[in-house]
Structure formats: C-alpha cells, structure tokens
Structure 1
Amino acid sequence: MSEGQNRDRRRTPLGQLTQAVARLAGAKTADEVVDIVRATARALVGCEGIAIIRRDGDLCHYIEEDAIGPLWKGQKFPMSACISGWAMLNRQTVVVPDIALDPRIPYELYEETFVRAVLMTPVRRDDPIAAIGAYWAATYEPSEEEIEVFEALASATATALENVRLISALKDAVSEAELVRDELRHRVKNAYMGAQSLARLTLPSELGVEFNGRISALARVHELLDEKIEDNARIDLRSLIEIELEPYMMPDRQTFSLTGTSVPLQPMRATALGLVINELATNALKHGALSVPSGRVEVAWMVVGSELNLLWAEMNGPPVVESALPNQGSGLIKRLVERQLNGRIDHVLLHAGARCQVTFPIEAGSLRESVASSRGVGLR
C-alpha cells in the first residue's frame, strides 16, 4: 500500500472518529473539549457546518460553530423554540432532511443562513447538557452510518466533559486539602512557639534553655517529616531515629546506641514508626532510663525476610515497676504498630529496664535497598 493510500485510509470517518475520541479522552478543560469537537465534527459527516450548543437553564446557548457561513454563535434561544432544545428535551437524535417541511424548525431563524438540512444529537443522552448540530446547504438525509458516527462523537464528548468535571472537582479538593494542611502547619508552629514562650516565662533560666532546646528539636523533626511526606520521598530509618531522638540527647554523655542497616521507608510508615520512637523516648524520659544520668538506650534493627525487626532496650535506669507498663503509653504504641504498620509488638518491663520489639512488613523497594548492608547485623 502506497503512502498516499495510507493517508486516504486515515481520513475515513472511522479513523477520524477514533482520533477525535482519543483527543477528547485527554482533554483537561471544557474549552479544550469544545475546540476538539469544533475541529473534527464537520469532517465526520461531510456537512457544511456544525454548531455546539450548551444548555443554559431553559435556554440553548450556541457557544461555537464551524461553517461555510455564519450561524448563531453567541446567541441564546428558548429550549422550546429551536431544534437543539427539542433534541435535549426529548433526549434523542433528530434528523431534518428539509427544514421547510418540519414544524419543529423556526424557519425565520434559518432564512438568512445556508442551512437546508439538519442532524442534531444531544450530549449525555440520559440528562442532556449540550447538543451538537450538523448542517447541510441542500436538502439531505444522512445515512445510518453518519448518524451513528455523529452520536458516537456526542457520547465521547459527554465522557470528556464528565472527566473535566471530575478533574476540576479533584483540583478543588486538593486545593482545600492544601489549605487545611497549611493551616495545620501554622497551628503546630504556633504551638511550639507558645510552649517556648511559656518556658521562658515560668521556668528557671537553666531549665528553660534546656526545655526550649528540646522544643526546637521537636519542631525540626516535625518540619522534616512534613517535607518528606509532601515530596513522597523515602526516609532512611537511621535518619528517622536520629531526628526523633535528637531532643532527648545529652551533650555531656552518650545516651543512645544505634545499630542497624540502611532501610528506606515510605513517608506514612516513617511517620507511624517515628511516633512509636517518640512515645518510647517520652516514656523513658518520664519513668525509665532517660530519667537518670546513668541511663542508656540501645536501638537496633535488622531486616529478616520481608520484615523489619526493631528493638528498643533501656538499661541503667531506675528500678522498674512492672505494673507501670499500662501507664507508659503502651496502648498508643500498640495501636500505631498494629493499625498503622500492620505489625506486632512485644513490650515488656524487665528488671534491667523496658524492652520493646516492633516487627512489621516492609515494601519490596526497601528490601532491595537494604539487603546489601544487612549482612552480619543483629539485634543486641
């Protein structure tokens, strides 16, 4: 088949309809949909003009046209006074081979135009929102094939407009969510600043400086996690633990020991695990190893199969009261592990100190990235 024959084949009504449907599927705005229909409709049925009519309450608004002579672009007519309104009200395609013989045609509107025959089909047949009209300069009765092609274009137009509506609704929802997120960020930042102001006003100078240092560290943790979540970037487990524990580190002694491989986590998993680490550290500061100068905490983790095992072990802390476990945030930690991480937890208070083992599945990408550095690393 020659190149010229290939071009002729692509110009058949079916080929043109396929191209038009594909373009409509990618339209992002209602104006883009209208432009595509305007540029393709005439060629599909070989008519001398087309018009795109939008339903505007009880009116038909002729919003666009492509014709050998002017039609009614920009004008509005009552639904009951034009053939496009009849097609939308009756939810069906209408064929008028000779406008002079059809009482539904307001002949006075057509006298100064070239139009002598009409094909009109509604857009979204169940609940029409628009119509597409084809016009011929001589009396003409379109074939069944031409009618089907024109109705297929109208159906694709309806789908495209619905897609545009959904895209617009989604953008509005995203914009609203972004406003809520920004408001939440602002409130959280204000809360940190308020806590620091109260500390300066109510605490002794030395304690106030230490307290404000920890508040600043917590604010940095929140900001980093927020940025990672917004960018949907993975967060390395060691970095997560380090920023979560930074507010609890003492400049004059080695309080924490961290042992483990590099494991990248998805933002939502990192957020949940970060809350677990923060809760464990808060409990240790109130009741456990971080409440005394001699206390130490070891955090170790490793990948086993498709799961991550993380151990939090406190030592050299004050005497442990086993009955205190329910009061040390264990309920929140359990919910975070089981519901957010889909994992399991073993949280016990031994004589030497609190021990908490968290196990949860991790995604394949994290497994691939951590396997190279996982050999020879175990929980202590």
Structure 2
Amino acid sequence: MADSGSVPAATPLSVLTHAIARLAGARGAEDVVEILRTTARRMMGCQGIAVIRKDADLCHYIEEDAIGALWKGQKFPASACVSGWAMAERRTIVIPDIDDEPRVPHELYHSTFVRAIVMAPIGGDKPIGAIGAYWAMPYAPSRSEVEMLEALASAAATAIENVRLIAALSTALDTAELARDELRHRVKNAYMGAESLVRMSLGRQASEEVTGRIQALSRAQAFLDDRLSKTSGVDLRDLVALQISPYRLAGSERFLLDGPALTIDGELALPLGLAINELATNALKHGALSAEGGTVAISWSRMAGRIAVLWQERGGPPVVIGRRAGEGSGLLSRLVERQMRGRLEHRLAPEGVVCTIRFAVAHEAATADVLSVAAQ
C-alpha cells in the first residue's frame, strides 16, 4: 500500500485505458510492439512478458520485458512452444505451474525464471502473433486478469490490421474505395469486440471509463465516414471535438474550444483530423494530458480566405526548451505542409506545446495521399 501523501500507482484499469488509446494512434507495427512491451507487464503484475510474431511455421520472440532474460531474438518451431500452441488452437493458454503441464518444452525454461504462463493469441481466427505473461512462481491468474490480457491482444490485432490496411491504400489507388470500406467494417467490429471484452473483464462500474474511451473512438470514426460520404464539408468544431473525445476524462474538462462556425472541405478534414489526433496522442504521452490538471486550449479563426487553428498546452510536465523535434512533429509537418498545402508552427514554450496550423479554405489534396502519409 502506498504511503500517505504519495502518488498512487497506476491501476490495471488505467494501464489498459492508456494502452488502448495509444494503440488507436499507432502508425506502424513497431509502435504496436513497443506499446505492448511497455504496458502488458504493468497491467498483469507479472515478472515478465514477451511479444511473439508468427513467422511461417516458426514463433519469433521479437520483444520482451522481464526480470531475467527470456528468448528475445530466437525462433522456435510452432509445435514446440506455448505461443505456437496458443496460435494453433486460437485460444488463450493458462498454465499455473509448468511442472504440471507435460506439453511444455521444459528444456527451454531451465535457464529462465518462468514457472507460470498465460499466452494470448493476437489475431482472432487467423493469429499473427501472441502475448505471453510469465510469473516466477506457480500462479493461477483470475478470469478477469486473463480477459484483460485478451483485451490488450484484441486491441493490438486491430491496430496492426489498421496499419496494414492503410499501407495497402497508399499503394493501391485503384482499389481505394473497397479498401476503405473493408477498413471501416473491421474497425467497427474490433471496437465492439474490445468493448465486450472490457465489460466482461472489469464489470459494469469499473469498465465505464474504458468503454467510454472505446465508444468515443468509434463515434469519431463513424462521424467522419458518414459525413465525408454524404457531403464535401465538415464543421470544424465537430471535427475537433470528435478527434479529442477519446482523450477526455469523465467528470473533467481538459479541453477548451473556441472559434466561429466554419465548414471545411472534406479533403481538408482528413489530414486536419489526423493532425489533431497526433497532437492529442503526443500530449497524452508527453504533454499536458500526461499530468493531472493539464489542459489544452484549441481555438480557430478565419481571415482573408485562410483558417488558423491554434493548439496551446498548459499544466503539463516541465518543458525542456530546445529539445529536438520528434517523429510526431515530422508527421505533423507532412500532414500540414504536404497534404493541406498549409503552414505549421510547432514549438515548445515554457508553459507547454504551442502549435499553429494555417491553411487555405480550399485546395486540391488527394485523399489517398493523406492515408499514405499516415502509414509512414
């Protein structure tokens, strides 16, 4: 138990909530793996985790976080390891004590601390990998713990599928419309599946925050799909509000929105929405949204045929002035300057990130190019 006055440790619920939000904004398979590496062990309270990728008939242990070395970088026949077993049977394997399970390849565990295992496949009917949780002593996890690992695996599968589909869109312009429909369908089903898993794992009251975040992400996706299929214009306030809705916390107002009623072209809505989502994701990882009490003010205005959107953060962690721009700011630059034909001003002020996006009311950017940038 934490001492009086100390900062409370993150709960499994808060870790899962944070992981789902980060996975929703993942831009590549390497991002998905890193999110799993940094969250699964804290969420499960175990002594180690491993991320495994299916490689034909082999299981490739590509990442791990543990109290001792496991098998990172090694490959094993799928028929000779627990991860291959879980993927072949398309179900989660629970082994409270490896000494009691004859199918465990014990020779692989002699040099490790592992005594108990939970292995969840990633990918549903067609597993593409697995997440393993390990304990240093015999341990029988509760059903809720198992379902939380399954929920994380489901969210990871959705994120990887989104990355794959968006990449396919960037190189298959002639089938862009069909791929978008496929993406919409898969994302909708994945959100519903993740919400169901969370409700089963955490119970009605405890799952409200997580399911609210998942529902907000689903509503944002559905809004853009519906609006852009019926009209060429999107209300700027609605676009901003929906993009930040997954990052709002129940019972608090961390975003301040201010600006006149403006309608922007559908072609502009996609890159601008991605830019707002990128800013919010970065704020959740490193900026104002990562600290209790941090706020973000978003305002916009129009003058002489141009629109300016201002993002200002307050109350976040101490800012290191002069820190080099990271990958996120690079993506913002490509979205705004290449796709929107606009101008980006992104800087670290003493009080937090300040970003201004300026663009003309109309332009001729291609929707497929926007998705290509997002996949980079």
What TM-score do you get using the length of structure 2 for normalisation? 0.46
Q: Which has the higher contact order (CA 8 A, sep 6+)?
A: 2
Larger gyration radius, structure 1 or structure 2: 1
